[in-house]
Chain A
Amino acid sequence: MPRNILLFALALIVFAPSLLFALTLGDSVSTADVARTIGSRFSDSIAPPGGATDDIVWLLRIPRSLMAVVCGGGLAIVGVAMQALVRNPLAEPYILGISSGASAGASLFFLGLLPPIVSRAATLPVAAFLGGLLSVTVVYLIAREGPRLSVARLLLAGVAISALMGSITSVVTFASPDPDKIRTVLFWLLGSLGGSRWDLLAVPAASTLVGGFVLVGFSRQMDALLTGEEPARSLGVPVEGLKTILILIGALVTGTLVSATGVIGFIGLVIPHVVRLLIGVSHSRVIPLSFLLGGAFLLWSDTIARSIFPSQDLPVGVVTAIFGVPFFLALLRRSEYRFG
């Protein structure tokens, strides 16, 4: 037990300097600038730093860093939920077709085949979210067998819908006459934290927090589910209801995250395993620590991406895999790993 408390303390201690490092990267922003920028929002006696610096910290870096934490953490906890749902270590947030559905929705909108509902910037996330939701709904309906939900059907339908949605995205992109829009779609598909803004942060943050608390609340039932559906049922777990809740949480959190940042891979698959390697399989510990580790990992990945190419928006998904995979493989090789 002290080991777990220590790990949690460590995770929290890692966070503060990570955030500070992300915010002060480069020559233009100092720690004092960050302090004054934030301080001036709460007290009139503190003057904000000069115009551009204040905007860089408050309008760009803070929302971007928070989006990294929310997105990394959210994808990690949905990864935990999906792995518990299908009792398979290869499960990740995108298995139910959410990412490919969101991509199809986004590309249909980008290329003008869906009308802008509100403003253009606000409609893209909506189109992506609806695409993801449609995919999950179809997968869910196909996987239902009477009152029960077949996990095997769920996985297969997810793979099939992903392929279908991927084809739709390709066809739409291929048929588009406008090369500028194609570039924008392709860039979006790679996943980037570049467009993070305060107004785009609220929905993903709220859904991730809600999802996180609900999952922690069901952590004992998820522990039981890992032992198998029949054993879980004999322990009094309402298995079918739990599966539906896990899918709903997965769809809500993944859908809102993908619509905000595009598809960022690797985190949802790997962070839960890393956490289990560190502290075992109990979900009451795995879920919170996955959130912290996933958030910190994406924050660092983005910071690394920004320091390699300071003037550019390098898609962060590129970095997560390059730096994360060797670490994960080393950890996998050294430890005795238990999934369930």
Chain B
Amino acid sequence: MRSQLVLATFLATSILFGACNPTPTNTRTATQYTDDLGRSVEIVVPVTKMVSLAPNLTEIVFAAGAGDRLSGVTTADNFPPEVDTIPKFNAVPIDFEAIRTLEPDVVLATDQVNSPKDASMFESLGTPVYFLTFSSLDDIFDAVVTVGSLAGTKRRASDHSTTLRQAVMDLRDRTRVIESRPRVLFLIGEDTLFGFGEGSYVHEIIDAAGGISVSANEPLAAPVFSDEYVVEQEPDVIVGSFPPDVDAGRLLELHPAWRTVPAIQKGRVYAINPDVVLRPGPRVVEGAYRMALLLHPELFGDSAVTSSR
């Protein structure tokens, strides 16, 4: 049982970025698509050259089995290792000249980092832009299929998408039996307390991992929490994209008023690899398993805990 769960993590992450796939059929046709922002885009499919404007989009392309169609990625890309062989460009601000030189069939963008202004610039250059949005885990898994259908690798993409979904469902099954779910506060940064409000997939990760996300119903999407909020919410666990040396003592040093917070008192403060939580891409599945290991180490073998950290 335990080893199966850990295996699922690796399945979800490593295998998906595996080998290439057969070349697409020779017939290429211009097709109208409606992207996640409701924009109408004409793309010649299957595409042979794609450019990704964000690291999570790159990971989604690889998960869709279309990594070999990427002709350009951003300088922020670092996963999977194959990205090191792909030409890189600056994404903030976008290096339009470099991307134009790559002559992509389609540019993949996300409204998390790209503005509609960028899209109109690409349109004037004659390059179609496909926007993807991610507010739930399903959006991420759907995006894998979408990219697969653009690249002509739809079957492979659908299979991978199903595997990812299944891995999350397996985790939910495993954590369903937990009776007392800890209240979890997820933070970006230990000093200024950026977090996630309603409409974020991060709450789903925490939920699947067997926790209750404290900030799931905060009205703003990207809130900055006050010290008082943390004291009042009394989270049992604080997980964040902190530097690895951040622990309860360090947080207490930065926020002395947190001394009554259960997570501080019990020392349940954990740093998590930001790339597997903050990037809405296929590795969120690994993020969910890592979160589960932090929240409920008793559900997994000791070896699993150590190997994951």
Contacts and interface: CB of A to CB of B under 8 A. Distances in A.
A188 B231 CA distance: 22
Dominant secondary structure at the B interface: mixed
Interface stretch (A52-60, A253-261, A270-278): A52-60
Contact of B231 (A56, A121, A197): A56
Contacts of A313: 192-193, 224-226
Interface string B184-208: 0000110111100000000000000
B231 A60 contact: yes
Contacts of B189: 180, 183-184
A305 to B, nearest CB: 10
Contacts of A306: 226
Contacts of B256: 59, 197
Nearest to B257: A59
Interface string B236-249: 00000100000000
A187 B260 contact: no
Contacts of B224: 187, 194, 312-314
B227 interface: yes
A311 interface: yes
Contact of B257 (A56, A187, A312): A56
B260 A194 contact: no
Dominant secondary structure at the A interface: helix
B232 interface: yes
B33 to A, nearest CB: 30
B74 to A, nearest CB: 13
Contacts of B232: 28, 52, 56
Interface string B218-229: 101001111111
Contacts of A312: 220, 223-226, 229
Contacts, number: 64
29 contacts: A28-B232, A51-B260, A52-B231, A52-B234, A55-B259, A56-B228, A59-B256, A59-B257, A60-B227, A60-B257, A180-B194, A183-B188, A183-B189, A184-B191, A187-B192, A187-B224, A188-B192, A194-B224, A194-B226, A194-B227, A309-B223, A311-B215, A311-B223, A311-B225, A312-B220, A312-B225, A312-B229, A313-B225, A314-B224
A227 B101 CA distance: 66
Given A55-B257, A184-B192, A194-B224, 15 more contacts: A52-B231, A52-B234, A55-B259, A56-B228, A60-B228, A180-B194, A183-B188, A183-B189, A188-B192, A194-B226, A306-B226, A311-B215, A312-B224, A312-B226, A314-B224
Contacts of A194: 224, 226-227
Contact of A52 (B192, B215, B253, B260): B260
Nearest to A197: B256
B20 interface: no
Interface footprint category on A:
20 to 34
B121 interface: no
B194 A183 contact: yes
Q: Which of B188, B227, B228, B241 has the most CB of A within 10 A?
A: B228
Interface string B260-271: 100000000000
A314 B232 CA distance: 18
Interface string A303-327: 0001001111110000000000000
Question: Closest 6 CB pairs between A and B?
Answer: A59-B257, A311-B229, A51-B260, A184-B192, A313-B226, A52-B260
Nearest to A28: B232
B21 to A, nearest CB: 33
Contact of B188 (A55, A180, A311): A180
Contacts of A51: 260
Interface in A23-72: 28, 51-52, 55-56, 59-61
B218 to A, nearest CB: 6
Nearest to A198: B256
A59 B231 CA distance: 11
B260 A55 contact: yes
Nearest to A58: B257
Contact of B254 (A60, A121, A180, A183): A121
A197 B191 CA distance: 14
A197 B189 CA distance: 19
Interface string A68-92: 0000000000000000000000000
A194 B223 CA distance: 14
Contacts of A314: 224
A114 to B, nearest CB: 16
Contacts of A183: 188-189, 192, 194
Interface in B158-192: 188-189, 191-192
Contacts of B223: 309, 311-312
B296 to A, nearest CB: 26
A55 B231 contact: yes
Contacts of A119: 253
